[in-house]
Structure 1
Amino acid sequence: MATAQSPTLDVAVIIPTMRRPEALARALHSIFGQQDVAGRLREIVVVDNDPRATARDTVAELADTSPVPLIYRHEPRPGVATARNAALAATRAPLIAFLDDDEAALSTWLSALLAAQAETGADVVFGPIQGRVPSGLGWKTPYLERFFGRLGPEATGLIDHAYGCGNSLMVRATALPGPAPFDAASDQSGGEDDALFSALEQRGGRFGWAADAWVEEFAPSHRATLRYALSRAFAYGQSPPQIAWRERKPARVAYWMLVGAAQTIAWGLASLALTLVANPRRAETLDRAARGLGKVFWIQGLEPRFYGAKELARLERISPSAA
């Protein structure tokens, strides 16, 4: 077990999960093997977002092999923001690292995040992601690997924009204010991290990049499809005008809608041309057209549903007798 250190150095790793026992075990083993974090890793918090608490046994089986306390919390209300808020309530660590349950961290992941935060003084530090998809996807494979991956600058340093919450390190006092910093209104569609980071930027917060903090993200077969990726791209496009609307900036909303219209037309025509000749690059242009379309049709209520109740319903169809 880690010995007590100055609380200013302590970090907790948070992993929300919903009915993915094998993926969760893989994610946890990757945290157990982290190097050069002795005395800094306080605990690992797993939040089980399945009403049936199906992750309980996985956590119990691995608890004795964890190098630090492995905390289990059950949050039966399905939703990505609600799960993350529940995890934060289970730890008082001043530094919070987020890892998704479909990710596995390289052994130097956490030390690289901590070093980048110390170097940059950023409120949130992000790291790169290598996307992994099932075999047999043909021409779609390179696009989907990029879609589920994440690249950034070659060197560690400050950056001028945020990425997603997965594979990140946050200074709790500045980046995660209050008992429930993630907006539960985004439970089903996602985008709660976009709102969080936009608010942080408005407060003068800073973002950093840890070039060596690699994780792998393993896309399950039901997500490693062009249809799913384009639906997500549409939702990503919705985020900028939705944030502008919440911030009561109608001119900014109009700006994003105009940008989206131009993107939809330009990339839509490019997609049509590439589709006619079966060029594999059409996946990239379709992605950009979908993001543009999302900026046009951004109104609340039109968001695709990827998390929470919809994901639970899908899992129930696959394994209705899971206990």
Structure 2
Amino acid sequence: MFIASEPPTVSVVICCYTMERWDRLLDVIDSVRAQTLVPQEVIVVIDHNEDLYERLLSIVDDVTLVKSRGPVGLSGARNTGVDTASSDVLAFLDDDAEAAPEWLERLVAFYDDPDVLAVGGRVEPVWENGRPGYFGEELDWIVGCSHRGLPRVASEVRNVIGANMSFRLAVLRQVGGFNLALGRQGSKPLGCEETEICIRSRIGAPGSRIVYEPAALVRHHVPAHRGTLRYMLARSWSEGISKAQVSQVVGRKRALGPERRYVKSVLPRAVLAGIRDWSTGRNRRGLGRAGSVLAVLAFTSAGYVRGRRLAHVSTTQLSRTVSQGAPWREVQ
């Protein structure tokens, strides 16, 4: 349990790795500057990109710039932020996800409860070319956003979403940071490091809570290629592999509880709604939505089975499986 006697200090960590998101990264930093709650510090971690580091160094003077001291990948970059920070709470924001003005204030408000270990918020997709007709809101987790079926009011959850999350710094350090065997590595769409660290944090803290506050909003840019069926299936495959990795660390029951409920309740309703919309003429794209749900479920399940079979191979081999073991080329 953590004793809270006064409002906690908070730092914001933004991890970045590519020059391609330059303009969006600057917009994200601006959104943090505009917060109603001013953070103690803003830490931008550059993941092994010297050109990006030098360019930021030349124009940004009110944030702490740090080169990732971990291996290439998001988990290593986040752990560098953990090592650098000195505040009570660490809030993480993606380099293409702009925060609403009250984002930080709404996250930090829950830390007056000493049993709260982490707080995450809603991630709303901003589609570059508009939402594809076959891409239902139930599948928005594929693009790193909140999906239909999540709570609509502040609620206790198993894990937060990576693009919009915060933790007590003491918790992150106590559990040893993010698992380097998990998380996106460059263009390989692995994930689930947030799920794993949330589960691991609670194992050693009975009675603790992790909270999802949908009013703490960030808007996540979704490029056109991430709305394609190709990306949907690639991301689904890698999600299955990632979930298999997590289940090896924390056990199947902890790793898959919410997923089982999602598959049993949210997805069947999505399929039926899509078929109904198509058959009644209300939305001719409904059949495509239903088909996408079934395809995503099949590929995620196949990835999970594949990941279980590879449970004892190295992280490098698992990462390679995302591109070599699936019937498509690697996607960005």
Fold match, TM over 0.5?
yes
SS at match of 2:66: strand
Asked if 1:290 is matched to 2:269, the reply is no
Asked if 1:146 is matched to 2:143, the reply is no
Q: What is the CA-CA distance between 1:8 and the residue it aligns to? A: 6.2
Q: Distance in 2 between matches of 1:243 and 1:142?
A: 26
Asked if 1:109 is matched to 2:103, the reply is yes
Distance change >3 Å, CA 162–CA 49, structure 1 → 2:
same
Q: Per-residue displacement from partner, 1:73-124 (whole Å, max 9, x unpaired)?
A: 1127421111111111221112000001010000000001011333584101
More off after superposition, 133-142 vs 76-85: 133-142
Q: Distance in 2 between matches of 1:160 and 1:137?
A: 27
What corresponds to 1:229 in structure 2?
232
Distance change >3 Å, CA 129–CA 252, structure 1 → 2:
closer
Q: Distance in 2 between matches of 1:44 and 1:240?
A: 31
Distance change >3 Å, CA 60–CA 236, structure 1 → 2:
same
SS at match of 2:26: helix
**Counterpart AA for 1:85:** N
**Counterpart AA for 2:105:** S
What corresponds to 1:29 in structure 2?
30
**Counterpart AA for 2:197:** L
SS at match of 1:154: coil
The 8 Å contact of residues 183 and 192 in structure 1, kept in 2 or not, is answered as: yes
TM-score (norm 2): 0.72
Q: Distance in 1 between matches of 2:132 and 2:249?
A: 41
SS at match of 2:227: coil
Q: Per-residue displacement from partner, 1:278-308 (whole Å, max 9, x unpaired)?
A: 71212222222222223322234445559xx
Asked if 1:280 is matched to 2:281, the reply is no
What CA RMSD, in Å, does the superposition of the two structures yield over aligned residues? Answer: 3.6
Q: Distance in 1 between matches of 2:13 and 2:122?
A: 18
Distance change >3 Å, CA 198–CA 239, structure 1 → 2:
farther
Q: Distance in 2 between matches of 1:252 and 1:169?
A: 24
Q: What is the CA-CA distance between 1:30 and the residue it aligns to? A: 0.5
Provide the aligned length of Structure 1 versus Structure 2: 283
Q: 1:218 aligns with which of 203, 218, 221?
A: 221
The 8 Å contact of residues 238 and 322 in structure 2, kept in 1 or not, is answered as: no
What corresponds to 1:245 in structure 2?
248
Distance change >3 Å, CA 221–CA 23, structure 1 → 2:
same
What corresponds to 2:17 in structure 1?
18
SS at match of 1:126: strand
**Counterpart AA for 2:295:** L
What corresponds to 2:281 in structure 1?
none
TM-score (norm 1): 0.74
Q: Distance in 2 between matches of 1:229 and 1:55?
A: 31
More off after superposition, 195-204 vs 107-116: 195-204
The 8 Å contact of residues 144 and 224 in structure 1, kept in 2 or not, is answered as: no
SS at match of 2:72: coil
SS at match of 2:174: coil
Q: Distance in 2 between matches of 1:242 and 1:296?
A: 11
What corresponds to 1:320 in structure 2?
none
Identity across matched positions, percent: 20
Distance change >3 Å, CA 145–CA 237, structure 1 → 2:
closer
**Counterpart AA for 1:200:** S
The 8 Å contact of residues 130 and 145 in structure 1, kept in 2 or not, is answered as: no
The 8 Å contact of residues 99 and 218 in structure 2, kept in 1 or not, is answered as: yes
**Counterpart AA for 2:192:** G
Distance change >3 Å, CA 209–CA 10, structure 1 → 2:
same
**Counterpart AA for 2:16:** T
SS at match of 1:128: strand
**Counterpart AA for 2:17:** M
Distance change >3 Å, CA 33–CA 241, structure 1 → 2:
same
SS at match of 1:213: strand
Q: Which runs of 5+ in 1 are unaligned?
A: 1-5, 307-312, 316-323
Distance change >3 Å, CA 287–CA 52, structure 1 → 2:
same
**Counterpart AA for 1:234:** W
Q: Distance in 1 between matches of 2:209 and 2:111?
A: 10
The 8 Å contact of residues 191 and 239 in structure 2, kept in 1 or not, is answered as: no
Distance change >3 Å, CA 156–CA 226, structure 1 → 2:
same
What corresponds to 1:166 in structure 2?
163
Q: Distance in 2 between matches of 1:215 and 1:136?
A: 18
Q: What is the CA-CA distance between 1:186 and the residue it aligns to? A: 2.3
